[in-house]
Amino acid sequence: MLDKAVVFSQIDGLRQEMIEALMSLISVPAVAPENGGDGEAQKAKCLVQLLERLGFDKVECYNAPDGRVSCGGRPNVVAYLFGVSDERRLWIVSHLDVVPPGKVDAWTETLPFSSVLCGDRVVGRGSEDNGQSLVSSIFALRALKLLGVKPAFTVGLVFVADEEQGSTYGIQYLLKQQLFKPNDFVVVSDAGNAAGDFIEVAEKSLLWLKLCVMGKQVHGSRPDKGLNAHRIGMDVALALDRLLHEKYSKVDALFDVPNSTFEPTRKECNVEAVNIIPGEDITYFDCRILPVYNLDEVLEDINQLLRYYEEKTRAKITLELLQKQSSPILNSDTDDVVLRLKTAIKHARGIDASVGGVGGGTCAAFFRQQGIHVAVWCTIDGIAHQPNEYARVSSMIADAKVFALLAMG
């Protein structure tokens, strides 16, 4: 077998190509229609051109129909490097889509979709989440291809759409195409830490909620003629916050953060002027819940609280369920893919990786529901979704070396 030092030297020699590829992909926005974007089509087109130029054995595109985007679909790209054996495949999964840039004036190093290299950092929206891992996986296999090394397994690189909004048009669509076999193993490269020594094997359950209070809008000087939805909305949100934190308060040290979290997040504009009492109030909650709890029971408690406030205030209160994802069975730290990944990290980086759970949702949850071996890992500083988001070039190269060892078996 080829010495790993030769493979690592080859990857080091691809540093400039990796930087250029990452910066090029960052420059193409891939924002979901829910957030005012036109999806991933243009970015997928650039990616396919890159993959074909680098000489992958096969590149396929699976378009999930979506009439909200101009091209009518959400592309999922799969690139293959054929291995010695095809009885079992290794899949490395990253995602094409990115979140919106947020307030542009908060970006002080570059415009969100105009990347810049600052020392060891490539700054731009989507650099860490998930461009770094996307490029790492590509150039890990590029190095093997240049060296004439055939992977132990056929390796499929999967670049999915719609990860940031629930994966309906991404990995869930691909799973329906029956690409993946039960004995395959998968690395989702979309969560980790700065040391590269953490492997995610469990995720919390997820609820995204939209809470709408309907009162009666009136002039600010005549509250007696109306029903202030803003005041009721604040009362309801605070009561819901207290109820959930107090009742669902167990702690599980496997997870970071170890407890369930229930966070009021987005608040929609209710009125345009200060002298108008609002007749509508809309608040969103992001709930990350330990697997020990049943989501249907949580929702029943929420609905009971809302019915109580409807009777108390005479407002109409509705709950819209935006996302509901129950946590599947946890991976064991003796699972095959976890052991293989630990070994590759040890050989490439000289560190012993630990396992644990996270509150953030990844594509791995859907593989676990199908009983497919999966682990989540990459080396990141954890600044996704922030202004001045960046990827470390050194981490991108180090992760490529781990992926290369995984592919070599």
CB atoms within 10 A of CB 395: 23
The span from the CA of 90 to the CA of 113, in Å, is: 32
DSSP state of 82: -
The verdict on whether 311 is a catalytic residue reads: no
Q: What is the dihedral of CA 194, 197, 199, 200, to 10 degrees?
A: -40
The whole-angstrom separation of Cα 217 and Cα 281 is: 11
Residue from 40, 129, 163, 389 carrying the catalytic annotation: 163
Q: What is d(CA 123, CA 227) in angstroms, rounded to the nearest whole number?
A: 48
Of all helices (H) and strands (E), which one includes residue 203? strand 198-203
How do beta strands 116-118 and 121-123 pair?
Answer: antiparallel
Check if 163 is active-site. yes
Q: What's the count of helices (H) and strands (E) in the chain, helices before strands? A: 10, 18
Show the tokens assigned to 406.
């995984």
Three-state SS at 395 = helix
The burial of 379, by beta-carbon neighbours within 10 Å (0-12 exposed, 13-18 middle, 19 or more buried), is given as buried
Residues 6+ apart with CB under 8 A from 257: 288, 359
**Cβ of 328: how many Cβ atoms within 10 Å?**
19
Q: Is 180 helix (H, G, I), strand (E, B) or coil?
A: coil
Options 40, 66, 97, 335, the catalytic residue: 97
User: To 10 degrees, what angle do helices 15-26 and 132-147 make?
Assistant: 140
CA distance 23 to 385: 17
Catalytic positions are: 97, 163
